[in-house]
Structures are given as C-alpha cells and as structure tokens.
C-alpha cells in the first residue's frame, strides 16, 4: 500500500475517533451501539474522502439556431453570435478551435461551410477570371522558317 493511502487511513481513523468521542461525551449511548456508531461514522467520512463523480458535461448552447447560422452573405459563429464572411480565422484566434473541432463541438455535418456561400462564389469567379484552375496549355512549337537558299559565293583568285 502506498504511504499516502496509509496516512490518509490513519487520518480517517483519527477523525472518526474525534467525532465519535465528541458525540458520546454529550449524548447517552448504550455500549452495544457504540460499535455501530463508529462503523457508520467511519463509512460516512470515507465516502466524503472519495473523489466526487464527474459531472456530465452540459451540451453547449449555441448563440443562434444552427439552422439560421448559414445565410447567403455571412456565417454566424455559434460560440458568440458574430457574423463573418469567413469563420476559420475567428475560431482559431478567439477560441483556439480548428474547423473540424468546431464541427465536432456543435455536432455539425462535415460539409458545414466555414465561408459564406456568396463570398465563396465571388472568390471562385475571381479566380476563374484570372485563369486559376485551368490546366496549363503547352505552348505551340514555333514553326521554323524554311532554310534559306544558299548563295553561291565565287572567290576570285589571281
């Protein structure tokens, strides 16, 4: 047995003895019931020493209804009710949550958006307009000009 546990049992017995002696000194108790009083007191004190049962975690209450948290122009944070076009940075800086942890905390589906739908569409159109998302087109090889006809060079010798 660990020494801490033995010390705790010794303290528990000492407390039991103090309580029972105080009770017996002020109340008339038959000798036959003394053993039962000691046992009941020891049991009650030992129950107090045990760690309390962990409380069931309360399910968090969202700031807004989950069904109303996604609108075309913004996403509402379920933690604080603030509106954002993009929620990821807010969750990371204020609540130290990743999008997956946020979804797990609020029991959201894995496809729950972190960006407002209209904002995502506007960014997508802008990216397509500048050519992102297209496969690179191989440049056409330059047509080599037909070889020039060679001129005959005459060399005069004297």
The whole-number pLDDT of residue 92 equals 94
What's the maximum distance between 2 C-alpha atoms anywhere in the chain?
155
The domain spans of the chain are 8-49, 66-129
pLDDT in tens, 30-88: 888 889 999 999 888 888 777 666 676 777 889 899 999 999 999 999 999 999 999 99
Q: For 66-129, CATH number?
A: 1.10.10.1550
With beta carbons less than 8 A apart as the criterion, state whether 77 and 122 touch: no
Q: Single out the residue of 67, 150, 59 nearest to residue 112, CA to CA.
A: 67
**C-alpha of 77 from chain center:** 14
Q: 109 falls in which pLDDT band (50, 70, 90)?
A: very high
The whole-number pLDDT of residue 1 equals 45
Q: What is the mean pLDDT of the chain?
A: 85
With beta carbons less than 8 A apart as the criterion, state whether 109 and 102 touch: no
DSSP string of 83-134?
EESB-HHHHHHHH---HHHHHHHTT--TT--SB-HHHHHHHHHHHHHTTTTS
The helix/strand/coil state of 32 is: helix
With beta carbons less than 8 A apart as the criterion, state whether 23 and 37 touch: yes
Tokens of 95: 């609540």
């Amino acid at each position: 047995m660990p020494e801490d546990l033995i010390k705790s049992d010794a303290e528990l017995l000492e407390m039991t003895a103090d309580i029972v002696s105080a009770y017996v000194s002020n109340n008339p108790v038959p000798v036959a019931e003394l053993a039962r009083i000691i046992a009941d007191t020891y049991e009650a004190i030992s129950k107090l020493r045990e760690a309390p049962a962990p409380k069931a975690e309360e399910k968090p209450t969202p700031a807004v209804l989950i069904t109303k948290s996604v609108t075309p122009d913004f996403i509402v944070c379920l933690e604080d009710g603030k509106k954002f076009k993009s929620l990821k940075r807010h969750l990371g800086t204020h609540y130290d949550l990743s999008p997956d942890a946020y979804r797990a905390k609020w029991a959201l589906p894995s496809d729950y958006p972190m960006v407002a739908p209209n904002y995502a569409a506007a960014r997508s159109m802008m990216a397509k307009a500048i050519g992102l998302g297209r496969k690179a087109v191989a440049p056409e090889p330059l047509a080599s000009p037909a070889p020039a006809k060679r001129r005959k060079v005459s060399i005069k010798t004297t």
